[in-house]
Amino acid sequence: MAQAREPATATEASRPASLPPDPDAYDSPRAAQARARGLAAPYIAGGEDPDLAATRRRERRYLRLLIAMIVVVVLAGFVLGIVANLLGLPGLLGGVD
């Protein structure tokens, strides 16, 4: 008669089945760099972007958008201050009249 097996712990249940080692992955540049740094796994955060030119174009567009938004927010403060002054709303300008 077979013995009843105890239920697996949470770590054993969530651990995937181990795969056989891949010799090509062991020799990859990322794995070699990870071993040189003393890391246990061949994962190095970051990596190489497969389409660097498109990513740089997209990031330049986002940078221009960010700068434009900063300029709009700063200038909006000046515009609102000038409009409040022209309308005679000293409470908005910090003066008590």
> pLDDT, tens digit, for every residue of 40-92?
777 656 667 788 889 899 999 999 999 999 999 999 999 988 888 888 887 76
Domain membership flag for residue 93:
yes
- CA–CA dist 97, 92 (Å, integer): 11
Token pair for 37: 């740094």
Q: Is 9 inside any structural domain?
A: no
Compare 68 and 96 and report the one with higher pLDDT.
68
Widest Cα–Cα separation across the chain: 96
**In this structure, is residue 84 part of a structural domain?**
yes
Nearest to 89 by CA among 24, 81, 62: 81
In the chain, how many domains are there? 1
Judged against a pLDDT cut of 60, whether residue 97 lies above it is answered with no
Residue 18 lies in a domain: no
What's the pLDDT score for residue 60?
96
Q: Which domain holds residue 68?
A: 63-97
The pLDDT value given to residue 12: 56
